[in-house]
Amino acid sequence: MLRVIVAEDSMLVREGILSVLAHQPDIEVVAACSSLPELLEAVHNSPPDVVLTDIRMPPTGTDEGIRAAAQLRDMYPNLGVVVLSQYAEPAYAVELFADGSRGRAYLLKERLGEPDQLTAAIHEVADGGSVVDPTVVDLLVKARVASAAGSLGRLSPRELEVLAELAQGKNNAAVAKSLVISVRAVEKHINSLFSKLGLVEEDEVHRRVKAVLLYLAETS
């Protein structure tokens, strides 16, 4: 049984989410919140397996869901977080995945009308996986994907292995250990795949995140 905390300031949307999850025999909602402080307190009092949170809540109504995901990663590394957004905002998706994609999902609220996709995302992050809404992925990689018949086809087998490891939220040292190669070799492969994917004019964090999003888009 997966324990879930729901954070959503709109009562109608919150009740809709609770109604959807109430029909899932393997999901138990242990708390429902309407603000970031309430969410953090609820997690502290009764740590769940997954948090399902709106991206914008009180007290500021800006990026509370993203900030919650970052804080919870530090406090509860194995806790999954699904962030829901009213609009496709690639910048928020990039920020959500900046510290790693493991146990994180970014979905549009329109997916609330597709219970299977919502519950699948909850299970995915609970297992340490990641999910990115297809609409958001399209906005991030449309130009690159359209310019070639599959951007990943440019990568060598080893570069694909490295990228697959990055998609699990691993840092360079963890990738090196998993593939039994040196950290320096990992760095060389990463720089090479950045170049092949056209990610050479952005900062390090954004390059890693966009490479992972491209991998998820083309392998999902």
By mean pLDDT, which of 34-43, 48-57, 170-179 is the weakest? Answer: 170-179
**pLDDT higher for 173 or 216?**
173
| Residue 125: band (very low, low, confident or very high) from pLDDT cuts 50, 70, 90 | very high
Mean pLDDT computed over 7-25: 93
Average pLDDT over residues 134-146: 66
What length is written for the chain?
220
Q: What is the bridge-based pairing of β-strands 130-132 and 80-85?
A: unpaired
Q: Cα-flanking dihedrals φ and ψ of residue 105, to 5°?
A: -140, 145
Q: Is the predicted pLDDT of residue 219 greater than 90, yes or no?
A: no
Mean pLDDT on 103-107: 92
pLDDT band (50, 70, 90) for residue 149? very low
**pLDDT value, residue 148:** 46
Q: Which residues are within 8 A (CB) of 102 and not within 5 positions of it... i.e. 6 or more apart? A: 128, 129, 130, 168, 169, 170
Residue 38, amino acid: E
- The radius of gyration computed from the CA coordinates of the chain, to the nearest angstrom, equals 18
Strand partners, 84: 54, 107
* Percent of the chain clearing pLDDT 70 (strictly above): 90
- The single residue listed with the structure tokens 């393997």 is 26
Report, as an integer, the average pLDDT of 34-52. Answer: 96
Any idea which residue has 């995140």 for tokens? 209
Query: 115: buried, middle or exposed (CB in 10 Å: 19+, 13-18, 0-12)?
Result: middle
- The single residue listed with the structure tokens 């699904």 is 82
- Extended strands (E) in 49-207: 50-54, 80-85, 104-108, 130-132
Range in 23-37, 123-137, 138-152 the model is least confident about: 138-152
pTM, full prediction: 0.70
Are 197 and 189 in contact, with CB atoms under 8 Å apart?
no
Nearest to 81 by CA among 58, 100, 62: 100
Per-residue pLDDT, averaged over 179-206, amounts to 84
What is the per-residue pLDDT for 212? Answer: 81
- Kindly list the structural domains of the chain, giving each domain's residue range(s) and its CATH number in brackets, ordered by start: 2-132 (3.40.50.2300), 139-219 (1.10.10.10)
Distance CA 86, CA 84 (A): 7
